[in-house]
Amino acid sequence: MGFVNEHVKKEERRTFVDKYGTEYTPVRWTIDREKDNVLFHYNTDREPPHYQSFIFYYKKCLVKFDVDWKLKDKICTWKLISLYIPSELNKEEVISELKEAFNTYRVSGSPLFKDDKYEIIFERGVF
């Protein structure tokens, strides 16, 4: 089935918060239920450069990362700035799955926003 954008049901949110704490409280997410992979945004820096922080729940581990986001001429570019990955995970696999998740997340991750007219680019960055 692959990734889909969804609003998080109250029961699912409560389960996630109980397990990982209130710092990570998803309202909507991009989820692959078959693989049990979840991507969601949880913070945007108030000060420039306004990086966005995400959680990627992958292989039962929390992967934290920051991206720089640009939208210009119907091109949405997500550039990976930092990646905090547990040592038991393969970095290349995580990045590959993130790219797939962002192809579904698109511009906002909203199941209501139809943004098929945007080209999505996911850049790895240097770190």
Q: What is the mean pLDDT of each run of 10 residues along the chain (127 residues)?
A: 94 87 86 95 83 94 94 93 95 95 94 86 83
Domain count, the chain: 1
Please tell me the predicted confidence (pLDDT) of residue 127.
Answer: 62
* pTM metric for this prediction: 0.91
What's the rounded Cα separation, in Å, for the pair 18 and 52?
Answer: 24
Domain range holding 31?
Answer: 4-123
Alpha carbon 69 to its chain's center: 12
- Separation in Å, CA 115 to CA 8, 16, 66, 93, 108: 20, 28, 22, 27, 9
The Cα–Cα gap between 77 and 6 comes to: 21
